[in-house]
Amino acid sequence: MSTPITEEASSRFITITENGQPLQLHYNDVGQGEQTVVMLHGSGPGASGWANFYRNVEPLVQAGYRVILLDCPGWSKSDSIVSTGSRSDLNARCLKAVLDGLGITGRVHIIGNSMGAHSTVSFALSNPERIGKLVLMGGGTGGPSQFVPMPTEGIKLIGALYRDPTVENLKRMMSVFVYDSSSLTEELYQQRLANILARRDHLENFVKSLQVFPKQFTDYGHRLSEIQAQTLVIWGRDDRFVPLDVGLRVIWGMPNAEMHIFNQCGHWAQWEHADKFNRMVRDFFSHP
């Protein structure tokens, strides 16, 4: 009988060095496969690797992959930090340090959602020899939409939630986060709010980071052509956080990228369309 895959059973910590200082990061480690898939979450308050990707872990483990879900610095159980420069680059440095610390020196596949997609691109630009295939959803470059006023509706709601973490502001943000908010339960709201309020230092330091360095997520548009890795770009047609045309810019810039657009889908494709997302990603990883 196989052991159930749970957040608690797969929970791990590792201490790395960032800017000369120790930084403890939390991650989940599941599966024993020879190939490793790393999952990087988005920037919403209360986010974590597990909360972002719990619907996607087991299918990849069953397909024979080792899956690592990293909580970026400033989220979930990882240490808090004030980012005085590009947070995308900070997360990429931390990912490299974690992989080195775990003795994973070969190529890894990376799945990045929103902030995680920005961080994935940064990691790929800095460590081309360490990447296998990439999956980017709702991010990848910090460039503006050509059709939707910036900051977008969703980004404004994230900012409001960071500054005033109430269940009302959480519900306002989540109502535009997904296409069909009726799938979001009161239990999910309360659990997410509890995660947010458990680490007020994360909230305060995120706001401080924006004050120190407003452009936290780098625009890599002019460098996307440097990434030669096969890349699957997945977007929700109805994304109100990072509009669809930003995804078109990503595949326009990356020479070996292809795109899938989900209809009736917001900013959380891997959650809203989990079954099809999982099939697509497994197929993408397993074929040349």
Query: What is the set of active-site residues?
Result: 267
Point out which residues pair with 233 in neighbouring strands.
136, 259
Residue by residue, DSSP assigns 211-264 as HH-S--S---GGGGGG--S-EEEEEETT-SSS-HHHHHHHHHH-TTEEEEEESS
- Secondary structure class of 76 (helix, strand, coil): coil
What does the DSSP assignment read for 92-153?
Answer: HHHHHHHHHHTT--S-EEEEEETHHHHHHHHHHHH-GGGEEEEEEES-S--PPPSSS-SS-H
Burial class (CB in 10 A: 0-12, 13-18, 19+), 52: buried
Q: In sequence order, which residues have a C-beta less than 8 Å from that of residue 168 and are 6 or more positions away?
A: none
For 133, residues 6+ apart whose C-beta sits below 8 A from its C-beta are 109, 229, 230, 231, 232, 284, 285
Residue with tokens 């490793």: 36
- Neighbour tally for 171: CB within 10 Å: 17
Taking the alpha carbons of 207, 192, 74, 39 in that order, is the dihedral positive or negative?
negative
Give SS3 for 178. coil
Say which amino acid occupies 6: T
